Chain A
Amino acid sequence: MRNSSIFKRLDWISILIYLLLVLIGWANIYSAVYDESHSSIIDLSQKYGKQLIWIGAALLLAFVILIIDSKFYSSFAYVLYAIGILLLIAVLIFGVEINASKSWFQFGTFRMQPVEFTKITVCLALAQAMSSRFFSLNDTNSIIKIGIILFLPIFLIFIQNDTGSALVFFAFIFVLYREGISKELFFTGFVLIVLFLLAMLTNLEILLLVVLIASVVIYIISNIRAIQAQIMLYLFLLYSSLSLIFYFYSDIFTDKLLLLIIINITLNLLTMLILYFTSRLKIILLYFVILFGVSGFVLSVDYIFNKILQPHQQNRITEFLGITDDPLGIGYNVNQSKIAIGSGGLTGKGFLQGTQTKYNFVPEQSTDFIFCTIGEEWGLLGSLSVIFLYTFLILRIIFRSEKQRSSFSRIYGYGAASILFFHVAVNIGMTIGLTPVVGIPLPFLSYGGSSLWAFTILLFIFIKLDSDRTENLR
């Protein structure tokens, strides 16, 4: 049984989703750059032609990964990590600068971004370190080790001026939480990362999100049980749905902000009133502090950024954050992207019928903004299908990770899921104006060899580990 063909033990559902996503990606790249004068599918001068080559190579890579012994990944984790770090240093010296970030190697016409692969090696090293018998999150040495593994690449990537990619590493906080970091630390860190991302966007969605996040945080932290918990949950749901309804139909009201604040205050007072009669003072205080602390943080970031800083200082910050410099005025990219997706409607304009993405209204339409093409040509149904595939894949990785007998496999799985999730959420978020425009690709869909290969490797290492879960016991 143990020697039964590896192909029988593979998680074919994940592989199927992977293939579907890659196919969807290729079709949309084809559509995004489609031009009647180049209608041949295999045209190596065009992006869709090249992407076919990348896909072929990626499938080959996947096959190689599956036949390599699964012990290789844990045994060579640190070696691979070291290679990854060396590549990051090398790119600083030998790399070329594209879009203001020096993160690319160039060999002739072929370009490669080492950071894509570093994500895998860091994930492997993290899994290796945390699965060690002597590892404990209460042990200072262990914490330092984790800190170095994570922050060394973050530091190097920041120097490359590729902030978007650096932010990805913060996604590993999910891994740390799963492996036992205290929940207070996790949620504080988590909320800070989210706020850090959102604070640069100054629209009402943030405010809404902040309060929603805060509510979840309170709900989880406050540890209240039974009837109180249920009341909290109902209030949270009521609050969320009300806010969303009012937000969508807020054209009727002249002042959205005022409205949100009124709803906010009313519901919070109600919550506190109920808590006062049912629970302890400590929880009420905590609720109060976190809610207003969080809102205050966002508002002050917003205020400082817009009112106090000079324009050139603002530019420096947006540049630092890797928010893409837009040539046609503030928010041009996001605007165009929203127009493209919005024009798709429920069912979209149909394959090759998109007008916004095709005629270069949306920048980076085949790489970072590939989701626009999906939104425009396949509509809400198409975009929801893609999101569904991603969600299903990510959750599947998480739940299969839990089945692993080896900690290494489990931790690696969580790491892979976190990276995928961060990419999907931030990439789609930026095309619809929810997150800042940081240049990170959409896994499996975006045009480009390095990112496709990196995500393929990331996923297939887990598939390989998963297929051997009965063998790997550590």
Chain B
Amino acid sequence: MKKYDNRKYYISAIILFFILTIIFKLINLQIFDESLKISAENNSQRRITEYPARGLIYDRNGNLMVYNEAAYDLMLIPKKMQEFDTLSLCRDLNIDISDFYTRLEKCISYSRFRPSVFYKQITAQQYSVLQEHLFKYPGFFVQNRTLRKYTSSIAAHILGDIGEIDKETLEKNPYYTGGDYIGKSGVEKYYENELRGKKGVKIFLVDVHNNIQGSYMNGKYDTVAIPGKDLYLTIDSTLQAYGERLMKNKVGSIVAIDPNNGEILALVSSPTYDPQLLVGRNRGNNYDSLLNARSKPLINRAISSTYPPGSIFKMAQALVGLQEGVLNPNTYYPCDVSLVGCHGHPPAQGVARAIQYSCNPYFYMVFRSLVQRRIEKSIFKDSRIGLQMWKDKITGLGFDKAFDIGLPGVNKGLIPGPDYYDRKYGKYRWAFSTIYSLGIGQGEVLVSPLQMANFCAIIANRGYYYNPHIVKQIGTDSVDRKNYMKIFTPFDRKHFEVIIEGMDYAVNEDYGTGRNAIISGMRVCGKTGTAQNPHGKDHSVFIAFAPKDEPRIAIAVYVENAGFGGVWAAPIARLMIEKYLLDSIIDSDLEKRIIETIIDAKQ
């Protein structure tokens, strides 16, 4: 049969063709098709994630502020779901069938192969019922979680909250899986990595009936959950609670810093809220209503809001003037109200008195001599140069700088420089006369209460400060050394003595603007401010430190729409200082009056 000899080639070709098709398909299956690998893992391995306990949070004195409480989430891997009694599950969870399907779709839309949260935070009773039925619901399992609990309702802005991770963060950070809880604000967010610890995972092999057959590779790939580290805040919870009480029904902030180490003793932002509101099943609703509230309670005003500082800025002007040599401690300027408005006071003989009386024309003149250096003939060019020199100096006092204090959302404020005004008015189209209100802390300048308190600490220390911070210690680790290193400002110590003299007069001598902060038996140095508010009543400001010679507290109080600084901010500062340094309140009537007063913030 010679004539059919070549047919062996055709037959071989056909066989090879089929073999090649099989090979192509195998390459596709084994190399390219990723979905098969994912489903294989879910198919035969059950990964049981062990969630570590989140770190606890203590105040500076070791008082517990935040702890954990067990909670249970019902998880679902949609791919593993098989037919089951849906009504029974609905009954166990007390949901209706349409709710069931909405939840199911949400899980499926996240992933068919990966677990997602089907029902959050099951109550203890529900859990006990569900646990018995769980074997009937293939694909479902319960994941233990921890919920945050608070020992008191204070410090919501500092502590922050935790919530379910959002999709965006999830995609960026492979550590997390859907439904995981993550810090959303406050130290919970800033110290997320330290607080969360490290998840552990136990891998079990399961057979087709989802029965555990044993541990995978003898536990070679299992990891132990490492608990989160505890945080020790610098906050004094007693002082914090007192501050929040004083600020009740007022809008504003109190920031108290220990000038000896930069530790923030109290960081009050009012209005505040009970942190417990953002825990548990009602978190979503509560969050929405807090977010939409007119008074914006979610904003941490102490670090995120910036205001015109008002008269407290005069001390900064004086420091720059003294350092630049355009001013000496005895310089006299008459109180010329034709330059800028003022209030009646004796003539300011020297810088200290000018601070005591908070004389506006005096600091108008100081700022003018700083801006108009007569280096250039053109006042426009001259002002540009002068303002730049001024800005370079004044930012040394911590203005226009976002401190890394251990909280998210720190606002750096604004010290306008030549570039700023060039943008606003055009180059060489502005001069001192355009910007003179900076001299008395009005106009474009913006400072956060935190910066005000830190500025006060700089004065208290006569020229240096420590990076203000909110966390003293993380777990058993030693303190962050960089927070305890002196940062020197470009001002001579002797200039601060002049300023402090003025602040001493302002509180303790007649005609002082801050006499409401006087504490018998203690030398408090302070300065009032009244920040003009084009939208409503002026803001009331006061910064102070005490005692004068060995300062232990530097404080800034900012009360929105409260009018003259000496009236509201100064007594609040006084009460805070008494609380911290004396641990008792001398004038309980004053305390009562402050707490009961409602100052309605008008936008």
Chain A residues near B (Cβ < 8 Å): 36, 174, 177-180, 190, 205, 209, 212, 216, 220, 244, 247-248, 336, 338-346, 355-356, 358-361, 375, 379-380, 383-384, 387, 391, 394-395, 398-399, 402, 407, 421, 425, 428-429, 432-434
Identify which of B206-214, B265-273, B395-403, B595-603 touches chain A.
Answer: B206-214
A427, B26: Cα distance in complex, Å: 13
A375, B22: Cα distance in complex, Å: 13
Q: State the interface size on chain B (CB cutoff 8 A).
A: 44
Q: Are B22 and A356 in contact (CB under 8 A)?
A: no
Residues of B near A391 (CB, < 8 A) are 15-16, 19
Q: Are B21 and A209 in contact (CB under 8 A)?
A: yes
Q: Are B31 and A429 in contact (CB under 8 A)?
A: no
Instruction: Write the chain B residue with the least CB distance to A383.
Output: B26
Instruction: Write the chain B residue with the least CB distance to A345.
Output: B30
Residues of B near A358 (CB, < 8 A) are 44
Q: Are B22 and A387 in contact (CB under 8 A)?
A: yes
User: Which 9 residue pairs are nearest across A and B when measured between Cβ atoms?
Assistant: A342-B36, A343-B40, A355-B44, A359-B207, A380-B30, A342-B29, A425-B18, A360-B208, A339-B40
Q: Are B206 and A432 in contact (CB under 8 A)?
A: no
Q: Are A355 and B205 in contact (CB under 8 A)?
A: yes
Instruction: Write the chain A residue with the least CB distance to B42.
Output: A339
- Cβ distance A202 to chain B, nearest Cβ, rounded Å: 16
Residues of B near A180 (CB, < 8 A) are 1, 3-4
A125, B435: Cα distance in complex, Å: 112
Choose among B4, B7, B16, B213 the residue that contacts A359 (Cβ–Cβ < 8 A): B213
Choose among B18, B25, B39, B45 the residue that contacts A205 (Cβ–Cβ < 8 A): B25
Most buried by A among B16, B28, B208, B216: B208
Q: Does B84 contact A (CB under 8 A)?
A: no
Extra contacts besides A380-B31, A432-B25 (17): CB < 8 Å? A339-B36, A339-B40, A342-B30, A343-B37, A343-B41, A355-B43, A359-B206, A359-B213, A360-B208, A361-B208, A375-B26, A379-B30, A391-B16, A398-B8, A398-B11, A421-B18, A434-B25
Residues of B near A178 (CB, < 8 A) are 4, 7-8, 11
A179-B1, A387-B23, A432-B25 known; A359 and B44 CB under 8 Å?
yes
- 18 CB contacts below 8 A, A to B, read A174-B11, A179-B4, A212-B17, A212-B21, A244-B24, A248-B32, A339-B39, A346-B31, A355-B44, A355-B205, A355-B216, A356-B43, A359-B208, A361-B44, A391-B19, A395-B12, A425-B22, A432-B25
- Cβ distance A392 to chain B, nearest Cβ, rounded Å: 10
A216, B20: Cα distance in complex, Å: 14
Q: Are A394 and B15 in contact (CB under 8 A)?
A: yes
A342, B27: Cα distance in complex, Å: 9
Residues of B near A402 (CB, < 8 A) are 5, 8
Instruction: Write the chain B residue with the least CB distance to A382.
Output: B30
Residues of B near A345 (CB, < 8 A) are 30-31, 37
A355-B44, A387-B22 known; A395 and B30 CB under 8 Å?
no
- Cβ distance B397 to chain A, nearest Cβ, rounded Å: 58
Residues of B near A425 (CB, < 8 A) are 18-19, 22
A24, B415: Cα distance in complex, Å: 79
A413, B603: Cα distance in complex, Å: 97
Residues of A near B33 (CB, < 8 A) are 342
Q: Are A343 and B36 in contact (CB under 8 A)?
A: yes
A380, B208: Cα distance in complex, Å: 24
A89, B581: Cα distance in complex, Å: 107
Q: Are A421 and B43 in contact (CB under 8 A)?
A: no
Q: Are A342 and B15 in contact (CB under 8 A)?
A: no
A359, B213: Cα distance in complex, Å: 8
Q: Does B95 contact A (CB under 8 A)?
A: no
Q: Does B175 contact A (CB under 8 A)?
A: no
Residues of A near B1 (CB, < 8 A) are 179-180, 407
Q: Are A380 and B25 in contact (CB under 8 A)?
A: no
Q: Are B44 and A356 in contact (CB under 8 A)?
A: yes
Residues of B near A379 (CB, < 8 A) are 30
A359, B44: Cα distance in complex, Å: 7
Interface residues of B in 198-245 (CB under 8 A from A): 205-208, 213-214, 216
